[in-house]
């Protein structure tokens, strides 16, 4: 069992290697931060689809309903039609309506601006107590919208961290709680963003390309895999597709 100090050193090393390989992601890159409620809904739309499709769904939804009062009053079938490109449209439309109802009941308005003055821990608690909002979504709001240092863990980040041997956890939520204490706060944005890109380019779910991975020397899974001879090479990921991040484009 590795100590926390050892894990912190290993994480710092991985962050450095990823930054060397993929660059240092620029936070906001000159864009204003997204409204927290926009971010919640965009994150909800991003579930079980890719960022390009969910971004299309998001744009259509906002074009059709420029304000949340209109969206809240709309029929589920009408919201569903607007977000069809994002997949699981019926389910997501229904979740959007439920979320808007919870926000209105809690804050008396369709706005989460009240969160801006609160502490990270309290925001996380408040958001996850809203209907259908998990820690990953709440952490995305903290990082991308409220400009706080939080480290969201989705299924891809969870997979890579387990392969690397940083954690041995069963689900992203468990990984999230372990990692908050291990990643340097000022590197949370960089590490999260680069892991997402890295998962698309090299450490893919089905066929991780360990033979060309810059992290292979620090990776438990990679060391095992490289000892086998059946690693096939697959196509290089399309860079533009790899770099597109929905949550960096919600404005
Ligand atoms: S060595 Fe393989 S499993 Fe490990 S991080 Fe790299 S691609 Fe993923």
pLDDT per residue as tens digits for the range 70-103: 999 999 999 999 999 888 899 999 999 999 999 9
pLDDT per residue as tens digits for the range 15-67: 999 999 999 999 876 678 889 999 999 989 988 888 889 899 999 999 999 99
- Alpha carbon of 78 to ligand 1 centroid (Å): 43
- Alpha carbon of 214 to ligand 1 centroid (Å): 8
With 0-12 CB in 10 A as exposed, 13-18 as middle and 19+ as buried, what is 183?
A: buried
Residues 46 and 118 in one domain: yes
- Alpha carbon of 203 to ligand 1 centroid (Å): 5
CA distances from residue 181 to 46, 112, 122, 178 in whole angstroms, order as listed: 26, 26, 17, 6
Q: How many structural domains compose the chain?
A: 2
Residues 163 and 213 in one domain: yes
CATH code of the domain containing 128: 1.10.340.30
Residues 159 and 126 in one domain: no
For residue 214, the surrounding DSSP H or E stretch is none
- Alpha carbon of 42 to ligand 1 centroid (Å): 29
Given 107, 127, 145, which residue is the final one in a domain? 145
pLDDT band, very low/low/confident/very high, at 2 (cuts 50, 70, 90): confident
Q: Atom 8, ligand 1: which residue's CA is nearest? A: 203
What per-residue confidence (pLDDT) applies to 131? 83
Closest ligand 1 atom to residue 219 Cα is 4
Given 83, 112, 145, which residue is the final one in a domain? 145
Token pair, residue 208, equals 């991780």
User: Is the confidence at residue 158, as pLDDT, over 60?
Assistant: yes
Test site for ligand 1: of 208, 214, 236, most ligand atoms within 8 A of the Cβ: 208
Test site for ligand 1: of 221, 228, 230, most ligand atoms within 8 A of the Cβ: 221
What per-residue confidence (pLDDT) applies to 247? 66
Residues 128 and 172 in one domain: no
- Using CA atoms, how far apart are residues 218 and 221, in angstroms rounded to an integer? 9
- Alpha carbon of 222 to ligand 1 centroid (Å): 5
Asked if residue 221 has its Cβ within 6 Å of ligand 1, the reply is yes
What per-residue confidence (pLDDT) applies to 243? 57
Full domain range(s) for residue 227: 4-28+151-248
- Using CA atoms, how far apart are residues 177 and 170, in angstroms rounded to an integer? 12
What per-residue confidence (pLDDT) applies to 166? 97
- Using CA atoms, how far apart are residues 15 and 10, in angstroms rounded to an integer? 9
Q: What is the CA radius of gyration of the chain?
A: 19
Mean pLDDT score, 176-197? 97
Residues 123 and 71 in one domain: yes
Closest ligand 1 atom to residue 221 Cα is 3
What per-residue confidence (pLDDT) applies to 34? 86
- Alpha carbon of 160 to ligand 1 centroid (Å): 7
Residues 113 and 214 in one domain: no
Residues 22 and 115 in one domain: no
pLDDT per residue as tens digits for the range 208-245: 999 999 999 999 999 988 887 554 444 444 455 555 56
- Alpha carbon of 163 to ligand 1 centroid (Å): 7
Residues 40 and 138 in one domain: yes
User: Is the confidence at residue 249, as pLDDT, over 70?
Assistant: no
Given 122, 145, 168, which residue is the final one in a domain? 145
Residues 40 and 137 in one domain: yes
What per-residue confidence (pLDDT) applies to 225? 84
Cβ-based neighbour number of residue 122 at 10 Å: 11
Residues 51 and 139 in one domain: yes
CATH code of the domain containing 180: 1.10.1670.10
Prediction pTM value: 0.85
Test site for ligand 1: of 10, 219, 223, 234, most ligand atoms within 8 A of the Cβ: 219
What per-residue confidence (pLDDT) applies to 251? 56
* CB crowding 143-182: b at 16 or more within 10 Å, else e: bbbbebebbbbbebbbbbbbbbbbbebeebeebbebbbeb
Token pair, residue 214, equals 């810059």
What per-residue confidence (pLDDT) applies to 236? 42
pLDDT per residue as tens digits for the range 101-151: 999 999 999 999 999 999 999 999 999 999 889 999 999 999 999 999 999
User: Is the confidence at residue 248, as pLDDT, over 80?
Assistant: no
């Amino acid at each position: 069992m590795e100590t926390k100090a050892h894990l912190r050193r290993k994480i710092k090393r991985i962050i450095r290697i990823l930054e060397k390989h993929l660059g240092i992601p620029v936070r906001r890159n000159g864009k204003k931060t997204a409204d927290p409620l926009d971010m919640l809904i965009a994150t909800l739309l991003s579930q079980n689809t890719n960022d390009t499709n969910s971004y299309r769904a998001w744009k259509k939804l906002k074009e059709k309903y420029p304000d949340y009062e209109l969206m809240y009053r709309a029929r589920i079938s009408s919201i569903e039609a607007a977000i069809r490109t994002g997949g699981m449209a019926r389910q997501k439309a229904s979740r959007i309506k439920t979320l808007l109802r919870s926000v209105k009941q809690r804050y008396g308005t369709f706005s989460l601006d009240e969160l801006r003055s609160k502490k990270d821990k309290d925001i996380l608690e408040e958001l996850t107590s809203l209907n259908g909002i998990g820690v990953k979504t709440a952490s995305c709001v903290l990082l991308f919208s409220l400009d706080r240092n939080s480290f969201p863990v989705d299924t891809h980040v969870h997979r890579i961290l387990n392969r690397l041997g940083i954690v041995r956890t069963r689900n992203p939520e468990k990984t999230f709680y372990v990692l908050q204490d291990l990643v340097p706060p000022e590197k949370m944005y960089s590490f999260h963003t680069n892991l997402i890109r890295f998962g698309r380019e090299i450490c893919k779910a089905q066929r991780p390309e360990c033979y060309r991975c810059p992290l292979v020397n620090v990776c438990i899974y990679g060391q095992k895999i490289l000892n086998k001879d059946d690693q096939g090479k697959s196509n290089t990921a399309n860079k533009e597709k790899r770099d597109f991040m929905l949550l960096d484009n919600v404005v």
